């Protein structure tokens, strides 16, 4: 696992930009209101169980519980972030765990009503993540994928081009996608694309300026996908091949 995510600098970044569960957006990171609006599409209820992959310091966990009463679990590759949650958001202390490379499963098959990747889907192995999401979700469960980055954003979108360049220079394993191929793969796993929210240019993200479209070919900076699992598949490949939990909670 990359040491970057376990560094004091990374935790400081999360605390400065991605920790406030009540305020507006800061810099290039959206605010709590934006998160709550997009979570609405998951149709969460008080008896729902949901897993956030890439939970950081726990603000989405807190927002989802406050707004929808859902029972939230979280996991992240950053041990300092998980330790922060345990020390500062104690209600989630026994529902969060660190992802590592040891090959342990994340959650039982058909366990979750919802799975959330908020602002991190470009940082995970996308095919494996979709496979694992299909396994974890109940039939009829939903997944929110934020953010899916386009492999070829507008050439004159200086912010998007600079962000991709910075990822490459820092050797961060960023994933970019061809929308049609991505959507075809999602459907092959039994997902229906309920909604695709498109941010055409990088500067549209924080003020939540988006277009809802029907999917397919289109140039954009990034997109949020809301997927619904239509059927169960015999999904053998899961996070246990890529990630693991050295302190997995009891999923119930």
How far, in Å, CA of 176 to CA of 197, rounded?
16
CA 105 – CA 240 distance, rounded (Å): 5
Whole-number pLDDT of residue 101: 46
Of all residues in the chain, the percent with pLDDT exceeding 70 is 86
CA distances from residue 189 to 13, 183, 195, 224 in whole angstroms, order as listed: 35, 10, 17, 18
Residue pair 106/248 in contact by the 8 Å Cβ criterion: yes
Q: Strand 112-117 and strand 49-53: pairing?
A: parallel
Per-residue model confidence (pLDDT) at position 235: 53
Q: Count each helix (H run) and each strand (E run) in the chain, helices first.
A: 7, 10
Cα gap 171→119, rounded to integer Å: 18
Q: Residue 242's pLDDT is what?
A: 46
pLDDT recorded at residue 103: 34
Q: What is the pLDDT of residue 170?
A: 84
CA distance 102 to 73: 20
What pLDDT was estimated at residue 218? 94
Residues of the chain with pLDDT under 70: 1-2, 25-28, 100-106, 234-252
Q: Are strands 244-245 and 211-213 parallel, antiparallel or unpaired?
A: unpaired
C-alpha–C-alpha distance, residues 29 and 207, integer Å: 9
Query: Each residue of 195-247: pLDDT tens digit?
Result: 999 999 999 998 899 999 989 999 999 999 999 999 877 654 444 444 444 44
> Would you kindly state where each structural domain of the chain is located, as residue ranges?
3-20+28-245
Peptide bond before residue 147 is cis, with ω within 30 degrees of 0: yes
- Cα distance between residue 16 and residue 24, in whole Å: 13
Picking from 90, 50, 56, the residue whose alpha carbon sits closest to that of residue 76 is 56
User: What is the homologous superfamily of the domain 3-20+28-245 according to CATH?
Assistant: Vaccinia Virus protein VP39 (3.40.50.150)
The whole-number pLDDT of residue 28 equals 59
Nearest to 77 by CA among 7, 168, 165, 12: 7
Query: Which pairing describes strands 244-245 and 96-100: parallel, antiparallel, or unpaired?
Result: antiparallel
pLDDT in the model for residue 248: 42
pLDDT at 106: 61
Q: Which two tokens stand for residue 39?
A: 């979570």
């Amino acid at each position: 696992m990359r040491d970057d995510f376990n560094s004091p600098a990374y935790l400081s970044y999360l605390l400065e930009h991605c920790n406030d569960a009540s305020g507006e957006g800061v810099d290039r990171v959206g605010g709590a209101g934006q998160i709550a609006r997009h979570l609405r599409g998951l149709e969460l209820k008080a008896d729902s169980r949901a897993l956030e992959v890439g939970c950081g310091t726990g603000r989405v966990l807190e927002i989802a519980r406050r707004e929808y009463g859902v029972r939230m679990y979280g996991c992240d590759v950053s041990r300092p972030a998980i330790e922060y949650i345990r020390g500062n958001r104690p209600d989630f202390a026994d529902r969060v765990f660190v992802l590592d490379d040891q090959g342990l499963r994340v959650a039982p098959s058909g366990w979750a009503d919802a799975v959330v990747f908020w602002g991190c889907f470009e940082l995970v192995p996308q095919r494996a993540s979709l496979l694992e999401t299909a396994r974890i979700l109940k039939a009829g469960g939903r997944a929110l994928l934020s953010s899916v980055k386009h492999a070829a954003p507008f050439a004159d979108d200086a912010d998007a081009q600079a962000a991709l360049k910075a990822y490459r220079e820092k050797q961060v394993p960023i994933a970019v996608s061809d929308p049609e191929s991505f959507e075809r793969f999602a459907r092959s796993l039994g997902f229906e694309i309920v909604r695709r929210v498109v941010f055409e240019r990088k500067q549209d993200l924080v003020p939540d300026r988006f277009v809802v479209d029907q999917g397919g070919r289109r140039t954009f900076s990034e997109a949020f996908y809301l997927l619904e699992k239509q059927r169960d598949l015999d999904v053998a490949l899961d996070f246990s091949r890529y990630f693991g939990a050295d302190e997995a909670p009891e999923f119930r």
